[in-house]
């Protein structure tokens, strides 16, 4: 049996620099720890490598999503400091969330964690997940990198940002009026988040965007251990995807769902 590659912090830093990450950069990270092989000291090493690569002038941002927990519930309480995220977004974001100095935003389903001088700027206003005023909107404004560590575009939340800005007809807003948020200082506030939910029977296909982005020449890729690493500017994700969606508003759906949308919209 072939043994797993052994990955050190230096291997990680070398790979991150290879895909263009530099001191002072802002980077949003989706990850899979097991994809590398065996990482010396686990999730902490990946986090240290990211923080050291962007340095003290850079900012690392990770998902701390709780969509599965809350999106279909009424009257829930989101405890910002204590709600875990491993089951939804993985061990690396879970370990990062608990690091001293890491901030977490207050969106009930799509909170993020961040460390660095721009952490406060990317917290968003806690209302929309991906649209105006959200973390993702801020990341666009700040020209952030978007980094995939051993995962493909199926988990690329930035594509939801394009859906929300384009106000796709296969989603609708629901609010969390009867829910509450416990802030890290213990104060309890009403939840002001809204979710741009997919209508029943519609399914996304994000995986295809990998080949489209590759063809557009916007991806920087390498391997660290067994993990494919992809780094891309969030603005490039947005701009390229928007061009496709301007021609076909259902472009981010599966073929079946696109057919359904065309029928329903009579186009």
Ligand X SMILES: CC(C)(COP(=O)(O)OP(=O)(O)OC[C@H]1O[C@@H](n2cnc3c(N)ncnc32)[C@H](O)[C@@H]1OP(=O)(O)O)[C@@H](O)C(=O)NCCC(=O)NCCS
Binding site for ligand X (CB under 6 A): 30-36, 38-39, 42, 63, 65, 86, 89-92, 151, 155, 157
Nearer residue to ligand X within complex by CB, 96 or 165: 96
For ligand X, the closer of residues 8 and 222 by Cβ is 8
Residue with Cβ nearer ligand X (189 or 207): 207
Q: Whole-angstrom Cα distance, residue 91 to residue 31?
A: 9
Beta bridge partner(s), residue 188: 182
- State the nearest-atom distance from the C-beta of 150 to ligand X, in Å: 7
The smaller minimum CB distance to ligand X, of residues 119 and 156, is found at 156
Residue 144 CB burial class (10 angstroms; 0-12, 13-18, ≥19): buried
| Separation between Cα atoms, residue 137 and residue 128, nearest integer Å | 10
CB of 5 to ligand X, least distance (A): 10
CA distance linking residue 92 with residue 50, whole number of Å:
11
Instruction: Name the token pair of 239.
Output: 């701009």
Note whether 58 and 1 are within 8 A (CB): no
Q: Which residues, at least 6 apart from 77, have a Cβ–Cβ distance to it below 8 Å?
A: 179, 180, 181, 182, 188
Least separation in angstroms between CB 211 and ligand X: 19
To ligand X, the closest distance from the beta carbon of 168 in angstroms equals: 17
Cβ nearer to ligand X, comparing 86 with 259: 86
CB of 41 to ligand X, least distance (A): 7
Residue number, nearest CB to ligand X: 90
């Amino acid at each position: 049996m072939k043994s797993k590659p052994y990955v050190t912090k230096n291997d990680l830093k070398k790979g991150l620099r290879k895909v263009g990450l530099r001191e002072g950069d802002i980077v949003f990270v989706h990850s899979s720890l097991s994809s590398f092989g065996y990482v010396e000291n686990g999730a902490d090493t990946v986090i240290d490598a990211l923080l050291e690569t962007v340095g003290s002038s850079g900012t690392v941002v990770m998902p701390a999503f709780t969509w599965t927990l809350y999106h279909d519930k009424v009257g829930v309480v989101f405890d910002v400091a204590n709600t875990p995220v491993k089951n939804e977004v993985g061990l690396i974001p879970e370990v990062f969330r608990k690091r001293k100095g890491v901030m977490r935003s207050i969106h009930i389903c799509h909170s993020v964690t961040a460390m660095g001088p721009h952490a406060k700027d990317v917290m968003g206003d806690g209302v929309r997940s991906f649209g105006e005023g959200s973390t993702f909107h801020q990341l666009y404004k700040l020209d952030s990198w978007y980094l995939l560590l051993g995962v493909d575009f199926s988990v690329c939340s930035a594509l939801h940002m394009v859906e929300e800005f384009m106000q796709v007809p296969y989603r609708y807003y629901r609010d969390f009026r009867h829910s509450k948020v416990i802030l890290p200082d213990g104060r309890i506030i009403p939840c002001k988040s809204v979710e741009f939910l997919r209508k029943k029977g519609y399914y996304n296909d994000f995986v295809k965007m990998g080949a489209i982005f590759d063809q557009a020449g916007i991806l920087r890729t390498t391997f660290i251990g067994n993990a494919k690493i992809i780094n891309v500017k969030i603005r490039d994700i947005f701009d390229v995807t928007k061009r496709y969606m301007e021609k076909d508003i259902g472009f981010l759906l599966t073929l079946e769902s696109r057919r359904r949308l065309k029928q329903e919209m009579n186009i």
